[in-house]
Amino acid sequence: MTSHPSPTGMPALDDLLAGLHVVSIPMRVRFRGVEVREAALLHGPSGWGEFSPFLEYQPPEASRWLSAAIEAAYGAWPAPRRTHVPVNATVPAVAPDRVPGVLARFDGATTAKVKVAERGQSVQDDVDRVAAVRDALGPAGRIRVDANGGWSVQQATEALRRLSAYGLEYAEQPCASVEELRDLRVALARSGIDVLVAADESIRKAEDPIRVARLEAADLVVVKVAPLGGVHRALAVVEACRLPAVVSSALDTSVGMSAGVALAAALPDLDHACGLGTVALLEGDVVDPPLEPRGGVLPVGRVQADESLLERWAAPADRVRWWRERVSSCHALLDDATVIP
């Protein structure tokens, strides 16, 4: 794996906590079970960084997110290769009649990622949702589906057989394990189903994110800055996989989103729209104006948190204490070797 050294080192815990702001922002639409998004924002000499692992993540996994936030607030990102990054719309597991309203929040996006395999819903629900997206985007629009590992190989094969009628760009993490992704690619090829397979959780939640490439388990990789430990580390993973990459987000505020944009801007090749438009799914943001797509693209560059918005969305005192303890627990797992690739 190529090393991308970052000039950041390990700041003291007291320094991190001194520049910590915790926000709690409601979602416009329930997404991945999340109705209110909480995030801890760090302020350092380089600017703002976001630490927002989902609440169920334990310190060993969440510490990578803190590494990414430290890189943003105290370090430097790779030089950009482009000034703007194309983004996709994100359609949660909503009823078909809500699809046009969701898509309207993503100004100019011609690609949509559609959530499927939602617990309690059927494949027919997925088909109806994807059909509504196709109607809204027209024949030239690109559609990708994201199952978050919710299908078995057999279920994925049958579901993608039906969904492929609507012209899929790819299916993101249709099955949970790397072995299942590999077997699904074989099953799709044997069945004559022309759908590419993208790995997401098998990259960002894996101890060995390169294993996907070694087992030929995916046609593309979906990379997220925070779970991989920062922009430099994520860029190194993409280089090692030697597969086309799509940069995505994790329901970040504009602060976290700017790190994803920095990664997408640094990639040697960027052939797919990125999943970096999800600020539109939040009721508010910490940046004014928020980092939302205009004309289907996002500008490259750092953003500044707005003090009035930090106050507007400030989390209750008990949640601030919880996040401070979480930062402390994760900080104890990091050192210069883990923060600096």
- Residues in the annotated binding site for Mg(2+): 146, 172, 200
- Residues annotated catalytic, as ranges: 115, 224
DSSP string spanning 203-267? HHT-S-TTHHHHTT--SEEEEEHHHHTSHHHHHHHHHHHTS-EEEE-SS--HHHHHHHHHHHHH-
d(CA 221, CA 236): 13
Phi-psi region of 207 (alpha: psi -120 to 50; beta: other; left: phi over 0): alpha
d(CA 136, CA 103): 8
d(CA 35, CA 337): 36
The two tokens of residue 282 are 């939040």
d(CA 325, CA 22): 12
Q: In the chain, how many H helices and how many E strands? A: 14, 12
d(CA 73, CA 19): 10
Nearest alpha-carbon partner for 228 in 65, 57, 41? 65
Binding residues are 146, 172, 200
